[in-house]
């Protein structure tokens, strides 16, 4: 991922040096267990542990000859030890024992970091829900006025959605925290099942129940699709902010800091660039998730058609998701809300958003739904076209007041009445 969209902590998990160091730790962990089982002499293990040293530049030099990155990695480690004990390095292992186990550690660390970011976002959303739970705004469907909601209630939906992603990612962390030390086709021909379990326990991982030469890639699909789902939700929220910040609406706005410029040409511009950025990167993340599905089908016990793709998609999808979570959290924390504009926009409906309430009341009074709908629709359309208050028209309409008394109409046509039941939902969330 390019530096523009990379944060240090996640980038460090997926950097070349970190990965090689994880691979080194795996090799040492295997040797330690082999020493404990007396398969290799303890003194040889101690000598290896004291002398072994990673040199990434040297690995790349060797790889020019070997045309194999893990073979070059093993050769460089052996060179660094420089004695007879070096023969034990990579003993009984195949490349994927190291590669897939290293990936499992990186995925586990990535899950933990994203989980932490989700928890921060949830705590900020909860604070904003409390702050804006009574700020009334129009709810929209098809981009058109529907019925009133509150801005806090909109945020409450976002909160619950992200809470589900948090719970799912905790499960995904368990799914991907799986390595293998089972050999060239997963049959433990050189090292035992017990050795694998002990090595992976030292590394904080579980064992793949039945591996081939690789950990099956369906596990990575769980990870990538979980991140794509998080990104899809953030895109939904960001799209809403973009709509609400439009000049014709202007109900909320991203923070515009001192010295910031919205346009190189138009000084008046204050654009929702953070939300737009999130929407763009969400497309990228979904694309990477699609590639992870393609990596599941491999020839026989393994080929490397997945390898080149994973070198790109796993770091990038992790770094991009981490970035947009960070950016959206900043947007929500500093969101600017305009309650007066919300009330002004609410007035543009001429109170026609009470139509369903009166429809329901007419049905309760014994009218068929078609009859009730025709009565209310006629009044509502007149209010919109003539720019008249819907409630006033209803009170004066003889057909409607034949079934609902004017004072009852006024009682039903109130924001308090429409929103009387959402308090329970706030209580459940907060």
> Annotated catalytic sites, by residue?
142, 263
Helix (H) or strand (E) holding 141: strand 136-141
In whole angstroms, give the CA distance from residue 96 to residue 183.
Answer: 8
- Tell me the backbone φ, ψ of residue 152, rounded to 5 degrees: -65, -35
Q: In sequence order, which residues have a C-beta less than 8 Å from that of residue 359 and are 6 or more positions away?
A: 369, 372, 373, 376
Q: Give me the DSSP letters along 219-274.
A: HHHHHHHHHHHHHHHHHHHHHHHHHHTSTTT-SEE----TT--S-SS-TT----HH
> Which H/E stretch holds residue 158?
helix 151-176
Q: Which two tokens stand for residue 154?
A: 């909109």
Q: How far apart are CA 91 and CA 159, in angstroms?
A: 50
Token pair, residue 345, equals: 């926009």
Q: Which residue stretches of 245-366 are H helix?
A: 273-294, 307-333, 339-347, 355-364
Q: Which two tokens stand for residue 286?
A: 């979904």
**Chain-centroid distance, C-alpha 272:** 20
For β-strands 252-253 and 206-207, DSSP reports them as unpaired
Q: Report whether 272 contacts 254 (CB < 8 A).
A: yes
Strand partners, 148: 138
Q: Looking at residue 186, what DSSP letter applies?
A: S
């Amino acid at each position: 991922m390019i530096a523009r969209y990379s944060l240090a902590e996640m980038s460090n998990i997926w950097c070349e040096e970190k990965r090689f160091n994880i691979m080194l730790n795996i090799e040492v962990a295997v040797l330690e267990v082999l020493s404990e089982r007396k398969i290799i002499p303890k003194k040889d293990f101690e000598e290896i542990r004291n002398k072994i040293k990673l040199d990434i530049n040297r690995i790349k030099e060797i790889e020019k000859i070997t045309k194999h990155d893990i073979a070059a990695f093993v050769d460089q480690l052996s060179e660094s030890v420089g004695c007879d004990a070096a023969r034990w390095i990579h003993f009984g292992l195949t490349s994927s024992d190291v590669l897939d186990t290293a990936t499992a550690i990186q995925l586990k660390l990535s899950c933990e970091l994203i989980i932490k970011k989700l928890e921060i976002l949830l705590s900020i959303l909860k604070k904003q829900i409390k702050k804006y739970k009574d700020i009334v705004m129009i709810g929209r469907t098809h981009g058109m006025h529907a019925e009133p909601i509150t801005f806090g209630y909109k945020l409450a939906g976002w909160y619950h959605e992200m809470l589900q992603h948090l719970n799912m990612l905790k499960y995904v962390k368990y799914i991907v925290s799986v390595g293998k030390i089972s050999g060239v086709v997963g049959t433990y021909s050189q090292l035992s099942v017990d050795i694998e379990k002990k090595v992976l326990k030292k590394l904080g991982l579980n064992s793949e129940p039945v591996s081939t030469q690789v950990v099956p890639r369906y596990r990575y699909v769980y990870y990538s699709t979980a991140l794509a789902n998080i990104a899809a939700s953030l895109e939904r929220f960001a799209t809403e902010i973009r709509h609400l910040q439009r000049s014709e609406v202007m109900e909320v706005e991203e923070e515009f800091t001192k010295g910031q410029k919205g346009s190189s040409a138009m000084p008046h511009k204050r654009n929702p660039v953070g939300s737009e950025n999130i929407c763009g990167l969400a497309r990228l993340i979904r694309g990477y998730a699609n590639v992870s599905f393609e990596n599941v089908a491999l020839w026989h016990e393994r080929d490397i058609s997945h390898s080149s793709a994973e070198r790109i998609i796993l770091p990038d999808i992790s770094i991009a998701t981490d970035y947009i979570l960070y950016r959206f959290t900043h947007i929500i924390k500093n969101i600017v809300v305009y309650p007066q504009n919300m009330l002004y926009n609410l007035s543009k409906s001429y109170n026609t958003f009470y139509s369903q309430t009166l429809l329901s009341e007419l049905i309760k009074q014994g009218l068929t739904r078609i009859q009730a709908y025709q009565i209310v629709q006629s009044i509502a359309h007149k209010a919109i076209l003539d720019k008249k208050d819907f409630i006033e028209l209803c009170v004066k309409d003889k057909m409607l007041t034949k079934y609902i008394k004017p004072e009852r109409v006024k009682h039903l046509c109130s924001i308090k009445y429409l929103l009387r039941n959402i308090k329970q939902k706030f209580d459940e969330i907060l």
